[in-house]
């Protein structure tokens, strides 16, 4: 009887009716984020990220330009916003200070990514490049494009990468202490968000960070399932 009362108490505590819609939206967002991962992998091999001839790519196809400018990565991160809110709501009673810190770091990481992926600025420059009638005009636009793309892997992107990964790592550690999330979700999240920092290991960094892609695919699917459960009032 005491255990049943405890379970009901937990259900009321974590599945407040006010937040059920948010959890459902977070579940949809998590599935979309997971779906974007394999699509991004395929797109990478068709349209390599940040090619030297980006204006030529844009002229040939706006879609190819979007993919080459890493639009899917930007799109996926923006779609993750409901998930960050759901993380905070579901983990705040585990440790509200750390949950709030994770939420703050996550939002800052999302915001600073926007200037690091100047997708529409480059598309606009691409249109100007196509309309240019002299080599001098094209040279000016090319220089402007190089200046814009200097932000692609600059300070803003690295701030996004580090802050976002720290946010998700804190979230995964909180999951380990929470009654809401299973141990499997926590361990997958911790492992994945530690591996991402392999990007900064010399020589093999990119290959190490790519291992996290599989982890994120599994993790977002697991999170989607949990968010939908919370949206139905289940713990």
The model's confidence at residue 165, banded by pLDDT at 50, 70 and 90, is very high
CA distance 15 to 23: 9
Question: In this predicted structure, what is the pLDDT of residue 3?
Answer: 46
Residue span of the structural domain in which 79 resides: 18-231
Number of domains observed in the structure of the chain? 1
Predicted TM-score (pTM) of the model is: 0.87
CA distance 226 to 235: 8
In a domain, 11, yes or no: no
In a domain, 205, yes or no: yes
In a domain, 98, yes or no: yes
φ/ψ (deg, to 5) at 65 = -65, -45
pLDDT in tens, 87-140: 999 999 999 999 999 999 999 999 999 999 999 999 999 999 989 989 899 999
In a domain, 12, yes or no: no
In a domain, 10, yes or no: no
In a domain, 78, yes or no: yes
In a domain, 2, yes or no: no
DSSP string, 89-136: HHHTTT-HHHHHHHHHHHHHHHHHHHHH--HHHHHHHHHHHHH--SHH
């Amino acid at each position: 009887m005491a255990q049943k009362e405890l379970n009901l108490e937990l259900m009321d505590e974590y599945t407040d009716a006010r937040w059920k819609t948010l959890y459902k939206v977070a579940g949809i967002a998590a599935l979309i984020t997971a779906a974007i991962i394999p699509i991004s992998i395929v797109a990478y091999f068709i349209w390599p990220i940040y090619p030297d001839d980006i204006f030529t790519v844009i002229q040939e196809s706006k879609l190819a330009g979007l993919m080459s400018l890493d639009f899917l990565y930007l799109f996926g991160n923006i779609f993750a916003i409901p998930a960050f809110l759901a993380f905070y709501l579901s983990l705040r009673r585990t440790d509200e200070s750390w949950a709030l810190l994770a939420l703050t770091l996550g939002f800052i990481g999302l915001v600073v990514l926007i200037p690091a992926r100047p997708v529409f600025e480059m598309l606009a420059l691409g249109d100007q490049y196509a309309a240019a009638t002299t080599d001098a005009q094209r040279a000016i636009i090319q220089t402007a494009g190089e200046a814009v793309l200097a932000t692609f892997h600059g300070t803003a992107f690295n701030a996004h990468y580090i802050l976002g990964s720290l946010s998700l790592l804190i979230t995964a550690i909180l999951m380990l202490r929470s009654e809401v999330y299973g141990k499997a979700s926590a361990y997958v999240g911790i492992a994945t968000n530690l591996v991402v920092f392999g990007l900064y290991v010399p020589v093999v960094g990119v290959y190490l960070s790519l291992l996290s892609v599989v982890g994120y695919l599994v993790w977002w699917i697991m999170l989607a399932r949990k968010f939908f459960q919370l949206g139905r009032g289940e713990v």
